[in-house]
A and B are shown apart, each in its own frame.
Chain A
């Protein structure tokens, strides 16, 4: 891979996922079918405001789905990763791995 391609690869990395808080949300939702707000709070350690803002950005990008459901008699807002989000996350991880291995010379 030439330097130009390498820089293009860095430039093309998914900026929506690349933000650390959003990356954490995507990593958590990748491991479950769905989870509520409290679950995401617990897993990511983000504040409520921060989590809300980042979840909205991911939802707008079509990477996660927000659904209002009843679990038993309790109303819950559930978050799940979409197919688009799943493949974007996998591509992001692959790209990041390629970039880091190129930088550290482990490719």
Chain B
């Protein structure tokens, strides 16, 4: 009985088994944070500023497509094709929509105000990662959420204002990226992937 439930849980969490989503998310977070850092320099011309904002929005929207492409090219030939079950809970969908709505509003305000120091990033990341970990039954993400809420803000304490939050975001991106890489190495070992 326990084995049956375990098999269902493993099947449900298979989408996260390779770490690709974390690798892409972590990379995007690091790039976005560097862009945010560049945007904080007042000497930057209007044209450069617009280009950087366009790049930032572009990579955020491209993220899910990059993940899907990487999975189709490198992961699914190994695991087989599957589509995660997103029908499971309508409550889950509502919470995800709310998270993205809040993130969208915060992002828009940050761009308009030209300042991001007031955005509670570690709390947002704690909430997103813990909720995602519970929703998809991936314990690693819950731990990652807790680490994200504590470690980057502490390390970035000596930096103040926008620079502090940018350093914190870069560290958060690196932590997610490292978690993704470790997961990918474990995935390769488990499925005997060469190269």
Report the separation of the CA atoms of residues A39 and B82 in the bound assembly, to the nearest whole angstrom.
Answer: 7
B83 within 8 A of A: yes
Task: Tally chain B residues at the interface, Cβ within 8 Å.
Answer: 21
Are B8 and A31 in contact, CB atoms less than 8 angstroms apart? yes
A58 within 8 A of B: no
Report the separation of the CA atoms of residues A95 and B72 in the bound assembly, to the nearest whole angstrom.
Answer: 39
A88 within 8 A of B: no
Are B79 and A31 in contact, CB atoms less than 8 angstroms apart? no
Known contacts A38-B80, A72-B72: A33-B86 contact under CB 8 Å: yes
Q: State the Cβ distance, B91 to closest chain A Cβ, in Å.
A: 18
Known contacts A27-B11, A43-B10, A93-B4: A32-B80 contact under CB 8 Å: no
Are A32 and B85 in contact, CB atoms less than 8 angstroms apart? yes
- Return the chain B residue nearest A34 by Cβ: B83
Are B80 and A37 in contact, CB atoms less than 8 angstroms apart? yes
* 1/0 contact string of B1-40 vs chain A (CB within 8 Å): 1001101111111100000000000000000000000000
Interface of B is mostly: helix
- Taking CB atoms and an 8 Å cut-off, the chain B residues in 67-103 that contact chain A are 72, 79-87
A16 within 8 A of B: no
Q: State the Cβ distance, B108 to closest chain A Cβ, in Å.
A: 32
Q: Which of A23, A35, A93 contacts B83 (CB 8 A)?
A: A35
- Return the chain B residue nearest A97 by Cβ: B1
Are B14 and A32 in contact, CB atoms less than 8 angstroms apart? yes
A24 within 8 A of B: yes
Contacts of B4 in A (CB 8 A): 23-24, 27, 93
Q: State the Cβ distance, A73 to closest chain B Cβ, in Å.
A: 11
* 1/0 contact string of A70-86 vs chain B (CB within 8 Å): 01100010100000000
Report the separation of the CA atoms of residues A24 and B8 in the bound assembly, to the nearest whole angstrom.
Answer: 9
Report the separation of the CA atoms of residues A41 and B81 in the bound assembly, to the nearest whole angstrom.
Answer: 11
Are B81 and A35 in contact, CB atoms less than 8 angstroms apart? yes
* 1/0 contact string of A86-107 vs chain B (CB within 8 Å): 0000000100110010000000
Known contacts A32-B84, A32-B85, A72-B72: A39-B79 contact under CB 8 Å: yes
- Return the chain B residue nearest A30 by Cβ: B8
Contacts of B13 in A (CB 8 A): 31
Report the separation of the CA atoms of residues A27 and B5 in the bound assembly, to the nearest whole angstrom.
Answer: 7
Contacts of A29 in B (CB 8 A): 11
Contacts of A23 in B (CB 8 A): 4
Chain B residues proximal to chain A, CB less than 8 Å: 1, 4-5, 7-14, 72, 79-87
Q: List 18 A-B contacts (CB under 8 A).
A: A24-B4, A31-B7, A31-B8, A31-B10, A31-B13, A32-B11, A34-B83, A36-B80, A38-B79, A39-B79, A39-B81, A42-B79, A42-B80, A43-B14, A71-B81, A72-B72, A93-B1, A93-B4
Closest 4 CB pairs of A and B: A39-B80, A31-B11, A38-B80, A31-B12
